Amino acid sequence: MALIECRQLTKTYRKGESTIKPLDRLDLDVEQGSFLALMGPSGSGKTTLLNLIAGIDHPTSGSLTIDGQNIAKLSRSKLAAWRSDNVGYVFQLYNLVPVLTAYENVELPMLLHPISRKERHERVATALSLVGLADRHDHYPRQLSGGQEQRVAIARAIVTDPAILVADEPTGDLDKPSALAVMDLLTRLNQELGKTLIMVTHDAQTAEYANRTLHLDKGRLADDSVQAAFSGETATTQGAAS
């Protein structure tokens, strides 16, 4: 059984008379430990899919089973608790809390769990040295470069040791060297720590880090290529893959 199973997953928004369908009866399996890149034109539903998998949004219909649990059925507050146990989210614009230091930002998700201050300290230190920022504990986000901010955000995403990491264009706002550092880091998290990683990207080169790439188009899967067999970015308008 796959770690993540989407079945006929659909999300619709009603806008006055018309309805928008960012996700249209999508079927998708993501294996434990895989690194999946999601590509597709703007508005094709990438962020919507990521948010559903991260438990941030409820699907309109269909089922979304993660580790055997259909999270589409969870209440809002159960889903909040589920998120803090199972998912780390990395945003395009880092989304660090500006009034908290790097240390406090990384500590933030742990305050939701019964973890002692001492253990929190150890875990923050480990996470920050893993992302190469052991010497930046007391820096506020405004005192960090974009690339450093994103690495702090990654430390925050992994500090509670979630099984799944989602990243929405994590290098979209970074210069080349910072983007490379972030991609190296994410790849290591996938390969060395075994995190299941789902990443949205616009950039074919960035997608090459993944071992599987999916193209979304108008809320449906356009193709599914495993990296080994991947050659170029041919997007066909075929139906859903499984």
Partner 1 sequence: MRLLPFEYAARNLGRSPLRLGISVLGSTLVVVLAIAAFAFVRGMDRSLADSGSADNVILMGAGSEESIERSEVRPNVAGQAEASIFGIRSEAGRAFVSPEVHAALGVALEPDAEPVGQAVFRGVVPAAFQVHPQVRITEGRSFRPGADEVIVGELAATRLGVPNERLALGQVVYVDGRPLTIVGRFAAPNTVMNAEVWAPLTNLQIMTKRDGVSCVVLTLDEGEFADVDVFVKSRVDLELAAITERDYYRQLSNFYKPVKMMIWVTAILIGVGGLLGGLNTMYAAFASRIREVGTLQSLGYPRRAVMLSFVQESMLAAATGAVLGALIALLLLDGVSIKFSMGAFGLLLDGPTVGFGIAAGLGLGLFGSIPPTLRCLRMPIAESLKAA
Binding residues (CB under 5 A) for Mg ion: these are: 47
Which of these, 6, 41, 53, lies nearest to 196 by C-alpha position? 53
What, of ligand ADP, partner 1, Mg ion, none, does residue 44 touch, CB below 5 to 8 Å by kind?
A: ligand ADP
Q: Nearest distance from residue 220's CB to partner 1, in Å? A: 20
β-pairing verdict for 196-200 and 35-39: parallel
Q: Nearest distance from residue 171's CB to ligand ADP, in Å? A: 15
User: Which one-letter amino acid corresponds to residue 11?
Assistant: K
Rounded to the nearest 5 degrees, what angle is found at the Cα of 16, between the Cα atoms of 11 and 20?
A: 25
Nearest to Mg ion of 51, 160 (CB atom): 51
Does position 20 bind partner 1 by CB under 8 A?
A: no
Nearest to ligand ADP of 41, 132 (CB atom): 41
How distant, in Å, are the alpha carbons of 23, 56, 197 from that of 81? 25, 11, 20
Q: Count the site residues for partner 1 by CB under 8 A.
A: 26
Does position 22 bind ligand ADP by CB under 6 A?
A: yes
Restricted to residues 61-80, the positions that interact with partner 1 (CB under 8 A) are 77, 80
Which of 14, 16, 68, 98 is in the footprint of partner 1 by CB under 8 A? Answer: 98
Rg (CA), the chain: 18
Restricted to residues 27-86, the positions that interact with ligand ADP (CB under 6 A) are 40, 42-48
Rounded CA-CA distance 59/65 in Å is 12
Which parts of the chain fold into alpha helices (H)?
A: 46-53, 76-86, 102-107, 117-130, 146-158, 176-192, 204-207
Which residues contact partner 1 by CB under 8 A? 47-48, 51, 54, 56-57, 77, 80-81, 83-85, 89, 91, 93, 95, 97-100, 104, 108-109, 111-112, 156
